[in-house]
Chain A
Amino acid sequence: DGGITQSPKYLFRKEGQNVTLSCEQNLNHDAMYWYRQDPGQGLRLIYYSQIVNDFQKGDIAEGYSVSREKKESFPLTVTSAQKNPTAFYLCASTPDRSHGYTFGSGTRLTVV
């Protein structure tokens, strides 16, 4: 998947349940990002990390949490506090802001 792998591809969450989406990259990129995409909509930034052990909230961080314990990994947890989590989630990485993102293939999360 072009060096950045998201899993699973499809995920179903029950009401009140926390779920974690995986994002792994072998591109040696410092910066990693999580975006949410709703049908017919653009990309909204959830969280981003520019270096290991550091991350910042994006525009819609409420109900989500992340960690960056390793350079290669940036998992996203969708908590029960996120009331409308059904969406397509995209992880991306870049070596720096003067280069484009490489996106993962996405995880489609559905609440059942």
Chain B
Amino acid sequence: GENVEQHPSTLSVQEGDSAVIKCTYSDSASNYFPWYKQELGKRPQLIIDIRSNVGEKKDQRIAVTLNKTAKHFSLHITETQPEDSAVYFCAATGNQFYFGTGTSLTVIP
């Protein structure tokens, strides 16, 4: 099955700085890579996704890049704000969704 690794597990940045979270996957057949944001005590919510035929996707301050050859994808948040503080999960699809272990992001005002 798929194995998704996510780094770092915790990340603290100053407000206005950028944050980068990286994930690697093992199954070359995986073709869909969503990212979820989970605020404390709440459900994960999809914030951006990318498919294997695309190398990069942006949505305002959030971007995701995918390197199929190296089997890794990354989430980039620019101009971070305190409300970006949350746990972020990456995922890759094989026969099911395989989630990374999460990154706790803290944006310091």
Chain A residues within CB distance 8 Å of chain B: 33, 40-43, 45, 48, 58, 90, 94, 97-106
Neighbour of B96 across the interface among A41, A48, A98, CB < 8 A: A48
Between-chain CB contacts (< 8 Å), 23 pairs: A40-B104, A41-B101, A41-B102, A42-B100, A42-B101, A42-B102, A43-B89, A45-B96, A48-B96, A90-B43, A97-B93, A97-B96, A97-B97, A100-B34, A100-B36, A101-B46, A103-B44, A103-B45, A104-B43, A105-B42, A105-B43, A106-B42, A106-B43
B102 / chain A contacts, CB cutoff of 8 Å: 41-42
Q: Contact at B49–A100, with CB atoms within 8 Å? A: yes
Chain B residues within CB distance 8 Å of chain A: 31-32, 34, 36, 42-46, 49, 51, 89, 93, 95-97, 99-102, 104
How many contacting A-B pairs (Cβ < 8 A)?
Answer: 47
Query: A13 to B34, alpha carbons, bound, how many Å?
Result: 34
Chain A interface mostly helix, strand, loop or mixed?
loop
Chain B interface mostly helix, strand, loop or mixed?
strand
B91 to chain A: closest CB distance in Å? 8
Closest B residue to A59 using CB positions: B1
